[in-house]
A and B are shown apart, each in its own frame.
Chain A
């Protein structure tokens, strides 16, 4: 399943590395990535594919939430469909 991972945080060194490590651990494949600093806030959206992972979407969601707490990141994963529905005809 294709999904969007979004990450917001105070900027620091290694955020992308941290998030990618968590995803790699679960064998979630990163397809695309866009990152910027908006008003001093680290902002990243990633397109990922969860089909390569042996974990369920719910398990990935829980693991990311737990990592988010540990790494002090606001991180979530949502199915890509919701963004396609809103922005693509």
Chain B
């Protein structure tokens, strides 16, 4: 196990990371000297109540925010002090986001939604863009829905489009912020099934959630409390989303 760890590449590595929000009168310490790594191929669930600092950490991981103190290496590069444009470039090349509210562009086809990150990469031409978007849609099983608008898709389908969008730029890590928060149990499990399948293909995933039954699908659970890591668990018997789905009563009875 240890040998394996050393061989694996560190995708995310933070040391002594702090984030302080200056609200004028009071200073909010959202993160207090965090040290942690995420290795290639890991499926990590970040848990915690609201205000525990888990979302702040995800924002920093996703290059949407910069730490007040400490170092952050993403895919081997120090990104703690990048400017806005450099951060945008990092997000474009290395990160895939999945949001609770999907954030799909309305009245824009599923395919075009998936293409979006590639539009901001000048190295990718139109033909390649279409091809890659189509392939990623196939990965999440939505080939037949590529021309549909988000309002013609179910919640689960929309989240799958969002997952495809997060994958299309071939990121080093996929960051998901409460991806099942707006979904019912069955659809949540369906989404987790996709995550597990993607992780099986070697994709590194970090997932923020407050639902314990969702976190049990991930191999590694990190619990946050008051801006600190309070507990880290390696789940021995990871729940299999496909099996869990089969255990659910048939859909028409729900």
**B is bound to A:** no
Residues of B whose CB lies within 8 Å of any CB of A are: none
